[in-house]
Amino acid sequence: MLNIAITGAASGLGRVVAERFSIKGHRVFACDASEDAIAELDRSGTVALATRVDVSDREQIELWFKDIFARTASLDVLVNNVGVAGPHAAVEEMELNDWHQTLDANLSSALITTRLALPAMKRAMSGSIINVSTISVLTNPAHRAPYVVSKAALEALTLAVAREAGPFNIRCNAVRPGMMNNERLMRILRRVAAQSGRTVEEVEGDQLRYIWMKKKVEMLEVSQLIEFLASDAACSITGQIISVDGGMSWEE
C-alpha cells in the first residue's frame, strides 16, 4: 500500500486519479480548493483524508501536510495536479495580480508540496513525484501567458527536482495532457463558440484538425500514465516530460 498525496483531487483528472489509487488499495490524502467538491469527496469514503486547501496559500498547504504526517510517517507519491486556468488576456492587458495568483497556484504550490514531501521520501530512500503540466506548453495558445508560463516553469522544476533527488532513489516526472475530455474543455469550447457565433461541435472539430489521432484524450488515459509513473514498473524513469495528447501540434 502506498501513501499518496494529490492536489486538486476533488474533481476532474484529480478525482479520477484519487479514485483509481484508492480502488487499488492505496491510501490517498486529497486536497482541493472547492469546499463543496472536497466535502463530497470526503462523504464518498474514497480517500483517507479530504481537506479544503487553497494551494496558493503556503500556510494552508503546510497545515495539510501536518495532517498527513499526523496519520503516516511516510509519503510514497506526490501528484501535483492543480492547474488553474488564469486570465484570458493579452500580456499588456492582464492584471499583475492575476499573473501572480496563477503562478502561485500552478507553480509555487508544487515547489512547496515538493519541499514538504522530500524529507520523508529521502528518509525512505524512495519516492515518486508527478507533476501535471499541459500540452499548451508546446502549442502556446494566445492570451494565456500566465497559464503557459506557470506550466513551462513546472516542467523546469520537474527536471531540477529529478536531478537533485535522484541520488535518494526519488523520481520526478511530468505528464502533459492534451485536449482532455472534461468540464474545463467544455467550458472553453462553449466560450469560443459564443464568441465566434459557431456551434460547440464546430469549434471542437476545428481543434481536432490539429490532433493527429483526431480524438480527445480521456482522463482515464492520463490517470493510467500517472499510475504507471507512481509504480515500481517506472523505477528507472525520472526527469521525463510525457505527453498524452493523441499527437497534438497546435491549437487556436
Domain range enclosing 175: 3-179+217-244
Q: How many domains, in total, are found in the chain?
A: 1
Contacts 24+ apart (CB under 8 A), 95-102: 98/146, 99/145, 99/146, 101/56, 102/146, 102/147, 102/150
pLDDT of residue 251: 67
Query: E strand or H helix at 31, and its extent?
Result: strand 27-32
- What is the pLDDT tens value at each position of the chain, 252 positions in all? 999 999 999 999 999 999 999 999 999 999 999 999 999 999 999 999 999 999 999 999 999 999 999 999 999 999 999 999 998 899 999 999 999 999 999 999 999 999 999 999 999 999 999 999 999 999 888 898 999 999 999 999 999 999 999 999 999 999 999 988 887 877 887 887 788 888 878 888 888 888 899 999 999 999 999 999 999 999 999 999 999 999 987 765
**Residue 80 covered by a domain:** yes
Instruction: Concatenate the DSSP letters of all residues of 198-229 into one string.
Output: --HHHHHHHHHTTBTT-SPBPHHHHHHHHHHH
Does residue 238 fall inside a structural domain?
Answer: yes
Distances (CA, A) of 78 to 173, 187, 197: 11, 28, 42
Query: For residue 252, what pLDDT is reported?
Result: 58
What is the C-alpha to C-alpha distance for residues 244 and 136, in angstroms, rounded to an integer? 12
Q: Is residue 198 part of a domain?
A: no
Give dist(CA 137, CA 96) in Å, integer: 21
Tell me whether residue 106 is in a domain: yes
Q: Does residue 146 fall inside a structural domain?
A: yes
Grid look-up 469549434 returns 203
Residue type, 124: A
Helix (H, G, I), strand (E, B) or coil at 40: helix
Whether 37 is covered by a domain: the verdict is yes
Among 181, 178, 171, smallest CA distance to 124 is for 171
In a 10 Å sphere around its CB, with 0-12 CB exposed, 13-18 middle and 19+ buried, how is residue 36 labelled? exposed
Residue 215 near residue 208 (C-beta atoms within 8 A) = yes
What is the secondary structure of 112-126 as a DSSP string? Answer: HHHHHHHHHHHHHT-
Residue 111: per-residue pLDDT: 98
Asked, for residue 40, whether it belongs to a domain, the answer is: yes
What CATH number is attached to the domain comprising 231? Answer: 3.40.50.720
Residue 170 lies in a domain: yes
What pTM does this model have?
A: 0.94
